[in-house]
Structure 1
Amino acid sequence: MSIDEQKLQNVPEQLRPLLQDNLARIEAALGELQDQPDWLTVELQRTLIGSDFVAEQLQRHPDWLAQLIQSGDLQQAYGETEYAERLQALLTPIEDEKELHRQLRLFRQREMIRLIWRDLNRLSDMRGTTRELSWLADACIDRTLEWLYQQACQRWGVPHSRPDAKGQRHPQRMVVLGMGKLGAHELNLSSDIDLIFTFPANGETDGERKNLENQDFFIRLGQKLIQALDNLTIDGFVFRVDMRLRPFGSAGSLACSFGAMESYYQDQGRDWERYAMIKARVVAGDQEAGEELIQLLRPFVYRKYIDFSAFESLRDMKGMINREVRRKGLSHNVKLGAGGIREVEFIAQAFQLIRGGRDHELQQRELLNILPQLPEKVGMPEAAVTELTDAYTFLRNVEHGIQAIADKQTQELPEDEMGRERLAFAQGFADWDALDQALQKCRADVSRHFADVIAPVDEGEEQPDDLRGDWLALWQGLMEDASALEFLAEQGYQSPKQALKALQDLKGLRTVQMLQKVALERLEAVLPALLENVGQCSNPEITLERVLVLIQAVLRRSAYLVLLNENPAALKQLVQLCSASAWFAEQLSKQPVLLDELIDPRTLYTPPNLTALRTELRQQLLRIPEDDIEQLMETLRYFKHAHMLRVAASDITGVLPLMRVSDYLTWLAEAVLEAVLDIAWRNLTEKHGVPQKSPGVPCDPDFIIIGYGKVGGIELSYGSDLDLVFLHDAAGNLETDGGKPIANSVFFNRLGQRIIHILNTFTPSGILYEVDMRLRPSGNSGLLVSSLNAFREYQQKEAWTWEHQALVRARVVAGSPALAERFQSVRREILGQPREEAKLKSDVTTMREKMRGHLGSKPAADEESRVFHLKQDRGGIVDIEFMVQYLVLRHAAEMPALMRWTDNIRILASVEAEGLLASDEVELLREAYKAYRAAGHRQTMQNLSGVLGDQEMAAYREGVAELWQRLLAP
């Protein structure tokens, strides 16, 4: 077949090359024609100019054009059941799922040629086209579902309900609800289909091998249905399937029971879900049961009273759309732009939501059935309804013209000249200017009527509320994934897919899905600001992951969400601190009660001294009855965790330098230990009386807690345990003076046990401190509490050199001041003993090698695998500590100033003052020690071990190792 020049006269000059190209593509199809009806040339021209998709399909299937013409299908409308009947005839003989997919796609492509042809040539009006498209979708969904259901029943058994009152179980079938345009019989030429999968009742299948829960069965069936319709194959697709309108959106179960549906909409249904549910219709599966569900859900959609709140919710939805239009530049979108299709829909559905509960005639799905009722129902002028009806019809026709070109789901007017001219021709206009003028008038009419019905949303610059609406739209699943990813990228997220998945995972949690309405409202109140702040961090995805763990922890205690929502500064602090520290985020997730500490930056970043800590803790404990040990323990834990949080905040933000961080953490431990000793002492003395120092002279309390290691050296870090030793100075042959006297030794042993119990016991708030008592005389085999005399004798006669090394960092952290003085004398006596240099070196180096072998990093097979253990490896922290301890033990006899301090930095200053090491050597040890500890702090704050890459700290390590060699080599 050829088109002569005379028949091209009605085609604009610039469109003739396009027409000739598409005619060339379908040359084989034209060759199949035996007879050419008179109408063919004109209709074929308009179709090929309007649709590359039709040209492509006729090129791939040359026989289809002749079939369509000879059958008369191009010239006649189909009835409601015709698509289903034709498809059923195709699917009945099919036994293979792959062939099912192929036949579905071929059926859809053939029918789309017919529908586009009829639409572009106005053989079908807009309502006829949308109705037939909806019937086509219904047939594809229903017939495919039935085929897949039979296959699933053969594989897993038929699903049945649980036994009823009569003991009977009833077979179950899926119900598929069509939402949006499909539900209203308003589907467009390249629309996706919004579906919800549901089933009447829970139960299980009657499979021979294995029974499935009904929900599991229908989820699998639903997945199969989506694959059959949505998967893109060599033959194309059938319909794009969107499941986000189901309960809980993308995070919800793919299929749920009627009971779960009713419960969800009753407890958690949102305004936009009422709007969506107006158009819900059973499109496939068990029609009878589905209609029962629709009636069950109707009270959610239509209120019995006149519901003017619908205006506000629709205004919010329109605001969200406006923001999307501005952000993505969609002003030329005939659906979403100003005066577009969506505004007409909002006008009609506003009155449906407001009055539909009282007026059942408004409870219809199709928009063009609602508009004519508005003059009578709500007093809208007839002229306004006429303008809206004409505008809606015109806009939908233009939408079809846009989508017919390439079978793509778009409502954007073309920007190129060729695209505009071909759209104008397909719509029956002389040129683009004529079509554009008609569009502008139409959209102006819609905008005017929309403003009359629903107060217009501010179209000005984007405001914070705009962003808030966008964040909520993303969270609620109202944004398509592509839009959500683009929005997240605009808000600073570096890996939008990762961030979106994290949010979807949170929403999918059962905890979130089961939230009461008030808790959900609180969550949605705080999420926008939270997500916006996270996006401003340097590591947004990591921060988001940490923050969402905390959000998950407080979901059932939503008062914390209110706290954050009402305190923007606290929310900002939270995000910044979680961004900087995994440890900080973890602590808050374990102890959400500490969120209160973020409110006031003055206390958060102003660390108290030891005296202030003692005073604050004492005041808190005074509020608790002395005999309420459990509450006292909880108060101690809150106090400790709160101040750990404060010091971490100061550390992270650089308010406190490393040394002050350790001071703060050590003072905190001392304040807690003093309080614990006081509680334990009071608790025991009330029961047994006070132990006797000498006959008639009570102890007061003649008990001390000695801190070794990091607490003794004022170098505590986050999560450090406490190396402690307990000593008393009471007479061993006396007893307490109470009504239930016990021996002094038994009393002090129980006192030690009580202290450890208070410190170590795991409560809902965790523990206070892990306690290590292995440095007491004779270690784990020795008494828990020794007398000072026994301690002195042990240190003089039995202690190993490494125990004297430990004594270098020992100091009293709680207890009797008088006994503390006597302990200091014993410490000076032991440390000041003369020592033979060679043996001391041998003892120190032997112990160091033993520790390094047990605790240091292991040899690696290759250079890339080598690591540096900050504490235990050669040139690390312990090497510095051992050198300092060696120098004290070696020279304290003649240089007593070396025994004054217990922390390495000040001992090194004494070493320098005494001339034992050169200033540059001391400077090396001091700076290396501080650098190692700072690195250890950073690792801890990220929940990492104290292991670095092998090349890190290389200069310090080599310098320390060289000094070790000079100082301690045999």
Structure 2
Amino acid sequence: MNAEQLQKTLRASQYAEQVLSLHSTFLEQDYAVDQFQYSLTTEKIHQLVQETLANLADEIQWMKAIRILRARLMFRWIWQDANQLTNVVTLTQELSDFADASINAAKEFARVPLLAKHGEPVGYNGKVQDLIVIAMGKLGAQELNLSSDIDLIFAFDEQGETNGRKCIDVQQFCILWGQKLIYLLEHITADGFVFRVDMRLRPWGDGSALAISHIALEKYLSQHGREWERYAWIKARVVSGGKEGDDLLEMTRPFVFRKYVDYTAFEAMREMKAMIEREVARRNISDDIKLGAGGIREVEFIVQVFQLIYGGSKLELQDRQCLVSLQHLGEVGLLDEQAVIDLEDAYLFLRRLEHAIQALNDQQTQSLPTEKDLRNRIIETLSFATWEQFLDVLNEKRSKVIYQFEHLIKEKGCDSPAENFSQLEQQLDDLLDEHAKNLIHEFWYGHAIKKLPAKAVQRLKEFWPHLIEAVLQSDQPQMALVRLMPLVESVMRRTVYLVMLIESKGALQRLVKMATVSPWICEELTHYPVLLDEFLSMDFELPKRKDLEDSLRQQLLRIEIDQVEDQMRVLRLFKKSNVLTVAASDVLAESPLMKVSDALTDIAEVSVTATLHLAYQMVAKRHGYPLDAEGQRCSLQHIAFAVIGYGKVGGIELGYGSDLDLVFIHYMDEQADTDGQKVISGFEFAMRVAQKFMSLMTTQTLDGRVYEVDTRLRPSGEAGLLVTSLKAFEQYQLKSAWVWEHQAIVRARSIAGETTLRAKFEELRCKILTLPREEQSVRQEVLNMRQKMKDHLGSSKEQKKDGIFHLKQDAGGIVDIEFMAQYVVLAWSGTNPDLAHYSDNVRILEDAAKAGCLSSDDVSALIQAYLSERAESHRLALANHNMQVSAADWHDTREVVCKLWQRLIDPTATFALESE
């Protein structure tokens, strides 16, 4: 036995003295004195708990055994800490491991009598429900201190009932389970306790149900979760609960870590800090090394505020542990190297001091003692000669924390334009016409403002100078302000958005610029303010296909198949938010046109794919699965159904306001019955899938609709069936279709559905397009169809005389170029099959040059004209303008297109744009 180390341990802790007097054999344990220099692995701690409690069925014996084990381990940890045989990180990890093992052991012990009385808790999904135990606070971060309580939340995956002799619902079962777990750990016996358990961080706090379902927790966080709870949930960790627990925790991540750069965290931090300061003053606990100025909590606040602001986009900042996240903040450049060093040094010192304070009497306190003896014990443990010397070091470290904390808070909001507001107002007033001035006056003195809560009015007044300052910096201040006013009015009750714009000057400037360029974007944000979440987080990179798929899948994952309204809302907001992202990238990052169209097409395809699978599941749930044409069961993995995109979506050329031209085909046995309880034929099954798809896509709700869908390009048009078998589609196209329908197939492409069926369609498309055709006949059919479109959709004679050019429909416009590409495919792919490979105009034209059907110069000029006209059509859509532009501005471009049209399609046409 090391007498000197023993003496130092007993001086460090009166509690250790008590433990040793009750359990003198601890020093003789084989793992004790000579093993104190070694750390305990997680596996070893769990093994110790299991061995200690093995074969103990009696509750009193069980509670006695684990409490004695706790005393043994506490004595060991105090010994190590007092003699500097461990460090803060190792000690807190071991303490947390013991808490985890104790919780799991108590949970299993508490379960047995409940099962005997009530049976297994079975969810409506048919699965036996587990008690999900979520650790919060220091236990969640695996940073538990010597005498910490443990913050827990109890949850379960699915509501239901038990299957025993005394039936109760799953929630009541889990409440009883949790109550017993708490009792086993915190009830004080002659041997003490294991852990004090704090449940106040659960939704609604004290007085609410002790256990909550996954869906109820999700609803609470989305509708009622407060800013301080976001701080709390940073450290949340599943101690027990399996996959359901992991899924539940994953669900909470978007609540904690917003996808956008979230400056509202500053506001929440200021409010929490003020609340703590009031509490410190009320209780006169300025010497509290956790809550006092420069204490542990301020270090955690500094780390957590950066986590909440940037954690959604910088995943490395989502770590639960303070020191790990502190290092990451330095690595990503959010804190300078010296700040990281100072904060880490202070944190480790304060945590070791915290252990020294708590070791004295096994009490959960962070206040410096006032008694001389206790002070002497602490400075001996921490190796200081005097209390004054210790205070000098403590105050030095706390002052560095205070500096970093104050710097962080004051850095934001110190440059408020409110000080120069009268000057800003005058500048703006000089630029506004009477209409704009009246608009502002009506806004501030109207009924909407009068009905606002006082806090919302205050936030609005704080925001207004920032808005004016940003507007004055724009090229068109009046236009920007007038377009933004409806948006401000729509979000002024949701003050979180105003705070975000106050704190993030860059986001506000981007919003003003977008308003100047695009009233369409302003209108979208005004009608659907939730889209501001996306807008404020944008990094102006176009969304990637895989990210889109993962995002939509995760959003739909937790929605039950019969929750149609929720599914529709997710689909609509997914589409709108991502199209907004593309628009922002288009306007602010000047993304290339082709990339923009690719992204818009990806959004549509991902939406169509998800909607098709939802529709298929809904019909299959009610009627079972049909058989395919070869007699195989059409499960969710083999749906024998495909969606064909025509027009802009087929040609990978979607714009902002484009609808979707779709055709549905299937490969089912139309006569065979489904295998469900409500039997229908395969034909009816396919029809219902198509109808359900249309309903999900096109139903108008408060969130708008996903897309307008046009199905008139299906066989026989509006008179034809909504969905067609592959065989019937083939017969129609080969025997009955008009040439213009084959024209449409040039831009057709399978965009969703079963892989094999999609491949069959692509083969059929190639077969149709490479049919031998008489060139002159194709030319005449294309010419006739083009003339009909000009007559019905082009500019009138009066408009042409006024110098108006319809960018899409008039001669030399987009449709002329599309028709030439379609002519190339229909006329020449019989002898050049490669021309039928692509569905987009640019690559069709490029292949025509490769095949020698058109000259490289002609193709280059035509593609340049096409891209210029399409880029302008995108700008017009963003500006809420129609396709009519000044003919004079487009003379040279139209001349290129018209001359090629004359040579390729209509030799009799004359190029006389000026006289149109």
Letter aligned with residue 489 of structure 2:
Q
Equivalent in the alignment of 2:639: 701
For residues 860 and 630 of structure 2, what CA distance do their matches in structure 1 show?
A: 54
For residues 884 and 582 of structure 1, what CA distance do their matches in structure 2 show?
A: 34
Shift of 1:803: 0.6
Equivalent in the alignment of 1:852: 790
Equivalent in the alignment of 2:427: 487
Letter aligned with residue 633 of structure 2:
P
Are 2:524 and 1:584 aligned?
no
Are 2:483 and 1:546 aligned?
yes
Shift of 1:630: 0.9
* 1:103-141 deviation per Cα after TM superposition (whole angstroms, max 9, x unaligned): xxxxxxxxxxxxxxxxxxxxxxxxxxxxxxxxxxxxxxx
For residues 446 and 658 of structure 2, what CA distance do their matches in structure 1 show?
A: 34
Are 2:827 and 1:887 aligned?
no
Please, which runs of 5 or more residues in structure 2 have no aligned partner? 1-412, 908-916
Equivalent in the alignment of 1:944: 881
Give the one of 718, 724, 727 matched to 1:780.
Answer: 718
Give the one of 535, 554, 557 matched to 1:598.
Answer: 535
* 1:636-656 deviation per Cα after TM superposition (whole angstroms, max 9, x unaligned): 111111111110000001341
Asked whether the 8 Å contact 1:868–1:947 carries over to 2, the reply is yes
Equivalent in the alignment of 2:871: 934
Letter aligned with residue 491 of structure 2:
V
Equivalent in the alignment of 1:324: none
Give the one of 789, 799, 809 matched to 2:727.
Answer: 789
Equivalent in the alignment of 1:869: 806
For residues 862 and 761 of structure 1, what CA distance do their matches in structure 2 show?
A: 38
Asked whether the 8 Å contact 1:732–1:744 carries over to 2, the reply is yes
1:416-565 alignment, distance < 5 Å: 467-471=417-421, 486-488=426-428, 494-495=431-432, 497=434, 499-565=436-502
Are 2:675 and 1:740 aligned?
no
Equivalent in the alignment of 2:608: 673
Letter aligned with residue 697 of structure 1:
Q
For residues 619 and 568 of structure 1, what CA distance do their matches in structure 2 show?
A: 32
Secondary structure of 1:692's partner? coil
The structure that has the greater radius of gyration is 1
Secondary structure of 1:691's partner? coil
* 1:723-743 deviation per Cα after TM superposition (whole angstroms, max 9, x unaligned): 000000111221211111101
* 1:512-571 deviation per Cα after TM superposition (whole angstroms, max 9, x unaligned): 232221221121121111111011000110010111110111233333323323333322
Secondary structure of 1:606's partner? coil
1:286-301 alignment, distance < 5 Å: none
Are 2:543 and 1:608 aligned?
yes
Equivalent in the alignment of 1:904: 841
- Cα distance change, pair 620–952 in 1 and its aligned pair in 2 (3 A): same
* 1:138-173 deviation per Cα after TM superposition (whole angstroms, max 9, x unaligned): xxxxxxxxxxxxxxxxxxxxxxxxxxxxxxxxxxxx
- Cα distance change, pair 834–695 in 1 and its aligned pair in 2 (3 A): closer
Secondary structure of 1:880's partner? helix
Q: Percent identity?
A: 43
Equivalent in the alignment of 1:759: 697
Give the one of 643, 647, 651 matched to 2:578.
Answer: 643
Letter aligned with residue 706 of structure 1:
I
For residues 695 and 837 of structure 1, what CA distance do their matches in structure 2 show?
A: 39
Are 2:619 and 1:684 aligned?
yes
- Cα distance change, pair 768–601 in 1 and its aligned pair in 2 (3 A): closer
1:648-663 alignment, distance < 5 Å: 648-663=583-598
Shift of 1:609: 2.2
Letter aligned with residue 501 of structure 2:
L
For residues 848 and 496 of structure 1, what CA distance do their matches in structure 2 show?
A: 46
For residues 888 and 738 of structure 1, what CA distance do their matches in structure 2 show?
A: 46
* 1:264-307 deviation per Cα after TM superposition (whole angstroms, max 9, x unaligned): xxxxxxxxxxxxxxxxxxxxxxxxxxxxxxxxxxxxxxxxxxxx
Letter aligned with residue 905 of structure 1:
V
Letter aligned with residue 902 of structure 1:
S
* 1:52-101 deviation per Cα after TM superposition (whole angstroms, max 9, x unaligned): xxxxxxxxxxxxxxxxxxxxxxxxxxxxxxxxxxxxxxxxxxxxxxxxxx
Equivalent in the alignment of 1:129: none
For residues 862 and 760 of structure 1, what CA distance do their matches in structure 2 show?
A: 36
Asked whether the 8 Å contact 1:792–1:826 carries over to 2, the reply is yes
Equivalent in the alignment of 2:657: 719
Letter aligned with residue 858 of structure 1:
S
TM-score by length of 2: 0.52
For residues 465 and 563 of structure 1, what CA distance do their matches in structure 2 show?
A: 15
- Cα distance change, pair 934–750 in 1 and its aligned pair in 2 (3 A): same
Give the one of 596, 599, 606 matched to 1:664.
Answer: 599
Secondary structure of 1:697's partner? coil
- Cα distance change, pair 484–644 in 1 and its aligned pair in 2 (3 A): closer
Equivalent in the alignment of 2:859: 922
* 1:720-766 deviation per Cα after TM superposition (whole angstroms, max 9, x unaligned): 10000000011122121111110111111111010010000111111
For residues 563 and 466 of structure 1, what CA distance do their matches in structure 2 show?
A: 14
For residues 485 and 496 of structure 1, what CA distance do their matches in structure 2 show?
A: 14
Shift of 1:470: 4.8
Equivalent in the alignment of 1:195: none
Shift of 1:573: 2.1
Letter aligned with residue 729 of structure 2:
F
For residues 496 and 547 of structure 2, what CA distance do their matches in structure 1 show?
A: 30
Give the one of 779, 794, 803 matched to 1:841.
Answer: 779
For residues 862 and 792 of structure 1, what CA distance do their matches in structure 2 show?
A: 43
Asked whether the 8 Å contact 1:485–1:496 carries over to 2, the reply is no
1:88-99 alignment, distance < 5 Å: none
For residues 803 and 747 of structure 1, what CA distance do their matches in structure 2 show?
A: 27
For residues 756 and 799 of structure 2, what CA distance do their matches in structure 1 show?
A: 57
1:165-184 alignment, distance < 5 Å: none
Shift of 1:505: 2.6
Asked whether the 8 Å contact 2:631–2:669 carries over to 1, the reply is no
- Cα distance change, pair 768–510 in 1 and its aligned pair in 2 (3 A): same
Shift of 1:861: 7.2
1:235-384 alignment, distance < 5 Å: none
- Cα distance change, pair 785–598 in 1 and its aligned pair in 2 (3 A): same
* 1:669-723 deviation per Cα after TM superposition (whole angstroms, max 9, x unaligned): 0001110011111111011011111575212101000000000000000011000
Secondary structure of 1:951's partner? helix
Shift of 1:929: 0.4
Secondary structure of 1:698's partner? coil
Asked whether the 8 Å contact 1:581–1:942 carries over to 2, the reply is yes
Secondary structure of 2:888's partner? coil
TM-score by length of 1: 0.49
Shift of 1:890: 0.5
For residues 914 and 702 of structure 1, what CA distance do their matches in structure 2 show?
A: 36
Shift of 1:627: 2.3
For residues 814 and 592 of structure 2, what CA distance do their matches in structure 1 show?
A: 19
Secondary structure of 1:571's partner? helix
* 1:15-55 deviation per Cα after TM superposition (whole angstroms, max 9, x unaligned): xxxxxxxxxxxxxxxxxxxxxxxxxxxxxxxxxxxxxxxxx
Asked whether the 8 Å contact 1:694–1:731 carries over to 2, the reply is yes
Asked whether the 8 Å contact 1:498–1:541 carries over to 2, the reply is no
For residues 664 and 434 of structure 2, what CA distance do their matches in structure 1 show?
A: 56
Are 2:634 and 1:634 aligned?
no
Asked whether the 8 Å contact 2:775–2:827 carries over to 1, the reply is yes
The alignment of Structure 1 onto Structure 2 pairs a total of residues equal to: 492
Letter aligned with residue 548 of structure 2:
L
1:153-172 alignment, distance < 5 Å: none
Asked whether the 8 Å contact 2:642–2:666 carries over to 1, the reply is yes
For residues 807 and 862 of structure 1, what CA distance do their matches in structure 2 show?
A: 32
Alignment RMSD, CA only? 1.9
Runs of 4+ in 1 over 4 A off after TM superposition: 463-466, 496-499
Letter aligned with residue 842 of structure 1:
Q
Letter aligned with residue 825 of structure 1:
E
